[in-house]
Structure 1
Amino acid sequence: MTDVGDVVAAVYADGWSRIVATLIRLTGGDWDLAEECAQDAFARALRRWPVSGVPERPLAWLTTTARNRAIDVIRRASVEAGKLREAGMVEPSMEPVPAPAYDAEIPDERLELIFTCCHPALSVEAQVVLTLRSLAGMSTAEIAAAFLVSEKTMGQRLFRAKQKIKNAGIPFRVPPAHLLPERLPTVLHVLYLLFNAGYGDPSRERVTAEAIRLARLLVALMPDEPEARGLLALVLLHDARHAARADTDGELVALDEQDRSLWDGARIAEGEAELERALRRRRAGPFQLQAAIAACHATATTAAGTDWPQIAGLYTELLRLVPTPVVALNRAVAIGMADGPEAALPILGELAADGRLDGYHLLPATRAEMLRRAGRDGEAREAYAAALELAPTEAERRFLRRRIDGLG
């Protein structure tokens, strides 16, 4: 016998965002009403399906139930507004807009939802939390736990984000074609932030899983956008190494020391395939270049077999497109691995003098690694100690202490 709870959970994973997107359009942009009616539909399914059986088209049933509930709420509000207007207590402009007639098709308006959540008028934080709530279907409590804040604080952030959409008149639609090139990078950036927010942290694994799922969704909705495929390839290739990033004691393991037999071969193959499809479009962008770098790492059978000269070349091209100090830092690592640590140290010195990476622990940590490889242990110890003072997590601090102890 089919477990109804499992069926509802399976439909929720992919159907929540479809239902919410449909209802946001139906209600004229009332995000709270849309989420309330979607939740009500899933609750009714859990009560009714064990008795009546799972319908042939569960998503259609849930969408219809949620829409009927929304229409009922809007109609009730309209009647109440009419009564108040007759009593002279409300202006005609306050009457809700009547709900559109129901049609038999289930529209897929998730693309509109993605671009609305990731509108550049919103702060990056608002974009991230709205995406998790509306597209991933995570509860306020789950999002709060993932970002280490109270549920009340996260609820306030969600409220402010929705109010910003309402007050700023942000439209619920995909931007016109001529604006897509400037808006799509924001969407991709938010999804990559989601992935990194959960990557390597067991308590945030759902955030990473949702980022991958949403990247797949974006590719399905925008199959001709090579950068969307580049992002999907990148997160797949990174996630393929997830099981080897920490040992059995939970300690971080450097890339060149990881047990490559733990890497997920199927996920690497999928990432490579997505990257190849993206590159065929001959419009290489930052995410495709990062995915190509990740593919160089993922396909090397040994650490010694890594094609560091190719990686250095890819980082040089990436730095041309994205001239940030973090990309420059990664390029320095690749040059150090390709041409020797002494080749990287002057670049690292320039980055330190630049000042934009002040307080970023990976700059002194990278310098320490290059000094260690060059046999300059005394200087390496000092650089590791500087990185240790800046490291943001206990796992990274333990890793740096082990590096210091390894110097003897």
Structure 2
Amino acid sequence: MSSTGSVSLHDLIVCACGTQEYAARDAIDAAIFRGELEAKWKEFLEAIEAEKRADELDLNLDEAAISSAAEAFRYEYDLITVEETEAWLANRALTLDDFSDYFTRQYCANAFDNEIAPVEVEYHSAPLELRELFLAKLILSGELDQMTIALMWRLAARCAEMDPHPDAIGVAEQKFFDRNDLEPTQLANWLEKLGRDSKWFDEMLAIDAAYRTRRDTLFAPQARQHELAALRLPLTRFETEIVEFESRDAAKEALFCVREDGISMEQVAIEGRYPYRRTDFLLEDIPLDTQQRFLCVSAGQVLKPIERRDGFELCRIVKKIEPCLEDPRVQSRIDQRLLDRHFSELVSKHVERRLGTPVAAQ
């Protein structure tokens, strides 16, 4: 990779807890311990193979689509100028070439979409250059940030819990063996392949046990109910039917037919050969400027045409459903908010977020 030079991407410090600094490698290895890296690694290998196939076939790349994806990234991270983009990348030991290569690779992966069978190679046995290319992908996709947050939460929990109960350690250990399909006698070989030792493994068990202990205390029924009451509107579920139109005039004419003539949305779609679908969503999942429109209508009513990218949509509310904890999607959102609030506060006391500074040579 052009970005690595004398500094390995794996040496980038991502956080610190007390006097201990943790690098990108630590966040990745912790993700491996939790069984959360394999799917990402496989997806990356598929993208690499797709890029090779594109080169072999001399595929005509859609430069406009690639440029659009890069612009969307810069917009998301508020990188207005090339200089700001270069500075952001340099802080992560990346270059503009790495940046461009990432979006080209993503385009190739999407172009072949499940048509690629990559060479199977385990992460820990892959060449360093390939692993650093993977890390660049983790950085640019935001996945390294997610891994870092997961590590920070566990480090903060360890500080708060101090010495987790032996039973909690035992549970964490058994879960590790189960998800990795390992026997205790195979642990030494697993650690050797990863380049870690038993001390690291014991620390992973301790922080995982501490995290689980803190997490489980958050999900008391009373806490969930209290959070649900505060989020009644955002978590309201809407069942809808939607018809897509190429113009506002066509959408308005359809609206008149539905409201005044009593024609069903599906019949309008069939007669006009317009795309029709039924979908459901939570209020918080739609743009803020659209949410109020949905709150002001009742079941059975049709909203005025909504502009969407290259056309318009007509949306009829089939049902408005109050949130309840029996709905798995609602409970998942509630639990995530409880976790985010608790561990964000805990992290602020015990862990410092960093990124972009290489670990000093030992």
TM-score class normalised by the smaller sequence: under 0.3
Structure 1 or 2: more strand by fraction: 2
Structure 1 or 2: more helix by fraction: 1
TM-score, length basis structure 2: 0.20
TM-score, length basis structure 1: 0.18
The structure whose RCO (Cα within 8 Å, separation 6+) is larger is 2
